């Protein structure tokens, strides 16, 4: 092969193979993630530190090169010569540089293309409140939120502001007006951007990630003041998500936080990607909590541990537990029972749901 490293060639090859991610780390050839598993690109040699720095030089702006040289991690987007967008994280490990790239779709998928439950489109069209999409890294949260934002854009006359690190999906003005702000490019940080957004006449605010107390507090305040706020957290399940949010508040303010969430939380959607039965891809399984009077009371009274039982019995409101959804996917033949058992929260409940009508 040609000794010159061309990041565009590598990314195009990975995309053609159906990979979701590409990694560069010292001592290995480029690594791709394909249908959830990692795989070497054998046609490439093991990468050295100078080779990784060559990739950095090809994809990073001068601003992000300065951040990387200062020893900090850097998040940014990169568009290949063939026009495809990628989310990039450059980090340090054992004194060397490493790169993780997420391959993004240029076209924004619709909720139906992603097979999102219909109730999620309803959440996106709410006039106000807080909608959270949660799950582990690589579970498709950003793509789900992009589809929900696009659903608003197509169906509602609104002003949408997105705050992202980095911008992943590029939206165009449709029925709504949409402004996208990137951290370290258009604004300093999430909390600052959120506070500024309240002076920018938005109807809908997308916050790429609620990382810290300042961002969480500002997002809840924005929801409380009459905006629809959509965001993500790296949590699994509604109960854990609510506990995580409340725990970032000082003890003296946790009661107020519970009251705000009880009043303003629209929904918590938790998702995970599961290998399909045919081995050719992955499918999302969901837990959906839609806030009703019972859940509001549990949040306010600090009885969050009772919420999972309400989710299991809330089918008429569009709610479902992860085990219920895994059982649904198994009965449809989309995933195997072995896979469902490996991902479920309670094997007995999962098997009970398997025997119930769809």
User: Residue 2: what pLDDT?
Assistant: 46
Q: What is the pLDDT of residues 283-319, one digit of tens each?
A: 999 999 999 999 999 999 999 999 999 999 999 999 9
Dihedral angle over CA of 332, 336, 341, 343, nearest 10: -90
Q: What is the mean pLDDT of the chain?
A: 95
Q: What is the pLDDT of residues 129-174, one digit of tens each?
A: 999 999 998 899 999 999 999 999 999 999 999 999 999 999 999 9
User: Among all chains, which residue has been given the structure tokens 């060397």?
Assistant: 96
Q: Which residues contact 98 (CB under 8 A, 6 or more apart)?
A: 23, 24, 25, 26, 52, 90, 91, 92
User: Residue 4: what pLDDT?
Assistant: 81
Dihedral angle over CA of 150, 151, 157, 160, nearest 10: -40
Task: Give backbone dihedrals phi and psi of 178, rounded to 5 degrees, phi first.
Answer: -130, 130
Q: 278 vs 5, 179, 281, 339, CA distance in Å?
A: 35, 40, 8, 12
User: Could you tell me which of 156, 47, 145 has the C-alpha nearest to residue 99?
Assistant: 47
User: Among all chains, which residue has been given the structure tokens 């990975």?
Assistant: 14
* E strand map for 141-245: 159-164, 177-182, 204-207, 228-233
At residue 236's C-alpha, the angle toward residues 129 and 113, to 5°, is 70
Q: What is the pLDDT of residues 69-121, one digit of tens each?
A: 999 999 999 999 999 999 999 999 999 999 999 999 889 999 999 999 999 99
Q: Is the dihedral of CA 17, 343, 107, 168 positive or negative?
A: negative
| Residue 177: HSE in the Cβ half-sphere, 13 Å Cα cutoff | 5
Relative to beta strand 177-182, strand 282-290 is unpaired
**H-state helical runs in 156-211:** 190-197
Calculate mean pLDDT across residues 274-286. 94
User: Residue 3: what pLDDT?
Assistant: 59
Calculate mean pLDDT across residues 342-352. 96
81 Cα distance to chain centroid: 26
Where is 24: in which H helix or E strand?
strand 21-24
Q: What is the pLDDT of residues 170-212, one digit of tens each?
A: 999 999 999 999 998 899 999 999 999 999 999 999 999 999 9
User: Residue 147: what pLDDT?
Assistant: 98
Length of the chain as a residue count: 358
User: Among all chains, which residue has been given the structure tokens 């195997």?
Assistant: 336
Q: What is the pLDDT of residues 2-56, one digit of tens each?
A: 458 999 999 999 999 999 999 999 999 999 999 989 999 988 999 999 999 999 9
Say if residues 340 and 353 touch (Cβ distance below 8 Å).
no
- The alpha carbons of the chain give a radius of gyration, in whole angstroms, of 21
Say if residues 164 and 179 touch (Cβ distance below 8 Å).
no
Number of H helices, E strands in the chain: 14, 13
| Predicted confidence band of residue 1 (pLDDT cuts 50, 70, 90) | very low
The one-character DSSP state at 119 is H
In whole angstroms, what is the distance from residue 275 CA to residue 153 CA?
Answer: 31
């Amino acid at each position: 092969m040609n000794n010159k490293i061309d990041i565009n060639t590598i990314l195009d090859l990975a995309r053609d193979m159906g990979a979701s991610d590409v990694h560069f780390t010292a001592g290995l050839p480029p690594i791709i993630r394909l249908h959830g598993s990692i795989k070497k690109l054998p046609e490439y040699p093991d990468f050295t530190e100078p080779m990784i720095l060559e990739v950095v030089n090809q994809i990073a702006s001068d601003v992000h090169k300065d951040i990387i040289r200062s020893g900090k991690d850097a998040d940014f987007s990169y568009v290949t010569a063939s026009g495809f967008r990628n989310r990039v994280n450059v980090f340090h490990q054992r004194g060397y540089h490493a790169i993780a790239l997420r391959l993004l779709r240029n076209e924004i998928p619709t909720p139906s293309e992603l097979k999102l439950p219909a109730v999620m489109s309803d959440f996106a069209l709410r006039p106000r409140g807080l909608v959270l999409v949660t799950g582990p890294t690589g579970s498709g949260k950003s793509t789900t939120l992009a589809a929900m934002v696009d659903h608003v854009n197509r169906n509602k006359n609104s002003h949408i502001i997105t705050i992202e690190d980095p911008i992943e999906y590029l939206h165009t003005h449709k029925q709504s007006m949409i402004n996208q702000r990137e951290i370290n490019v258009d604004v300093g940080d999430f909390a600052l951007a959120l506070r500024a957004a309240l002076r920018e006449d938005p109807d809908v605010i997308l916050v790429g990630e609620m990382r810290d107390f300042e961002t969480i507090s500002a997002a809840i305040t924005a929801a409380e003041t009459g905006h629809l706020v959509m965001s993500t957290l790296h949590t699994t399940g509604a109960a854990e998500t609510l506990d995580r949010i409340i725990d970032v508040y000082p003890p003296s303010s946790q009661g107020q936080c519970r009251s705000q969430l009880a009043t303003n939380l629209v929904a918590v959607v938790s998702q995970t990607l599961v290998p399909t039965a045919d081995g050719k891809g992955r499918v999302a399984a969901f837990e959906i909590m839609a806030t009703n009077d019972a859940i509001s009371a549990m949040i306010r009274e600090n009885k969050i541990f009772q919420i999972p039982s309400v989710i299991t019995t809330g089918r008429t409101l569009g709610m479902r537990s992860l085990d219920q959804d895994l059982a649904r996917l198994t009965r449809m033949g989309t995933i195997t029972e072995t896979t469902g058992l490996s991902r479920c929260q309670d094997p007995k409940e999962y098997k009970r749901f398997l025997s119930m009508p769809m």
